[in-house]
Amino acid sequence: MNSIPYGRQHITDDDIAAVNAVLRSSHLTQGPKIGELEEAFARYVGATYAVAVANGTAALHLCCMALNVGPGTRVITTPITFSASANCVRYCGGEVHFADIDPDNVLLDPKAVRSLLESHPKGYFSGIIPVDFAGYPVDMAAFRELADEFGLWIIEDSCHAPGATFVDKNGVTHRCGDGSLAELAIFSFHPVKHIAAGEGGMITTNDKELYHHLLRLRTHGITNKPEELTQPYPDEPERGGWYMELQELGYNYRLTDIQAALALSQMNRVDAMLDRRRELAARYDAAFSEAATSGLPIQIIVPPAGIGHAYHLYVIQTPDRKGLYDSLRTKNIFAQVHYIPVHLMPYYRQFGWKPGDFPHAEHYYAQGLSLPLFPTLTDDEQNYVINQVLGFLHVKSFINPN
């Protein structure tokens, strides 16, 4: 059996042709494909506006800048995420605070966030960054209620969840990033994500002012739009078509037309790839639910009705995670761990975080393992993965029957 990674991009002849067309055009950086991608992506998730940027981390950073995060700003996020979900606050000089996860779904727990909010004076915190971990959409309606009650903004980190859906208490179905419950949402176009552009990211919002602010911030804080210019005309008596203003300190966080063309081509089959992810997850569910019922040491997360999981990752939990990880590697199966809790990273420990602060997150980390899941994973390859996992668990169960 060839090596099987936990994730893999899927590049077709159509993707290559789309990129080649841009390479033969007159635009390589900010050309027409950027706007086409932004329009297509906003339409896909149901948001009013979309802003394409260099990567998901850049998207988070720009969101924090647009929301005026700075020294004295305190933001709550989950310890189970890639560090960028917290780092973006630090880039702006803000303070990161963590709350524990719900062990039933590994998502930031609204109850834990409420407890944290109620333990401090109102106004102490400014915002929340919940994360749609593994593709499981967070309870955005619950976070919106908290945000409204405590005067907070929300950035939804949806890097794992394009196409994911949930139903609110009024029976309304929402797509992650549709702008109805969060001020801003962000996505990633990293190769192992649902839409691969090499690198790349997207911000979605329904707020026109934030949208225009983000457009400036991704391009150094510069604008040349007549309606946005602020310099009095007499200061520039010969103002011409070259005129532009650096209005604030921004960054070069632009996406290229090359990347946009690849992402656009991938969007032509994004639903088919999402369907395949869900099909593979259902096959894993069937195998491992039966194993758990028979007493094998494995736990999986099966979302309830009303949750449209996007399955960026398929995560199992087992007590001997390290043993299983090592065993699979000897079989050419390269599972991965997502994630080491952010509060346990050396950088964040300097702020006083320590083991034991978030027991649910730390318990999950000790047992969580992401198995191979990507649209081109074949049934035979998946059967091989399942058999190797179950074979290891059977042996462990025989050795340690209790």
Residue 369 above 60 pLDDT? yes
Domain ranges of the chain: 4-267, 270-399
User: In a 10 Å sphere around its CB, with 0-12 CB exposed, 13-18 middle and 19+ buried, how is residue 341 labelled?
Assistant: buried
- Which architecture, in CATH terms, is 270-399? Alpha-Beta Complex (3.90)
Q: Tokens for 334?
A: 């390269």
Contacts of 205 (CB under 8 A, 6+ apart): 47, 48, 49, 51, 179, 183, 184, 185, 211, 214
Topology of the domain comprising 4-267 = Aspartate Aminotransferase; domain 2 (3.40.640)
Strands 368-371 and 314-317: antiparallel
Catalytic residue among 111, 193, 225, 322: 193
Residue-wise pLDDT for 101-127, tens only, equals 999 999 999 999 999 999 999 999 999
Q: How far apart are CA 127 and CA 398, in angstroms?
A: 49
pLDDT at 326 over 90: yes
Q: How far apart are CA 307 and CA 135, in angstroms?
A: 10
Positive or negative torsion for Cα 340, 346, 351, 354: positive
Collect all residues with Cβ–Cβ distance below 8 Å to 330 and sequence separation of at least 6.
none
Residue pair 54/61 in contact (Cβ under 8 Å)? The answer is: no
Confidence of residue 233 (pLDDT cuts 50, 70, 90): low
Q: Do 4-267 and 270-399 fold alike per CATH? A: no
Establish whether 193 is a catalytic residue: yes
Question: How crowded is residue 388: how many other Cβ atoms within 10 Å of its Cβ?
Answer: 21
- Alpha-carbon span 45 to 179, nearest angstrom: 9
120-146 as b/e: b if 16+ CB within 10 A: eeeeebbbbbbbbbbbbbbbbbbbbeb
29-83 pLDDT, tens digit per residue, is: 888 999 999 999 999 999 999 999 999 999 999 999 999 999 999 999 999 999 9
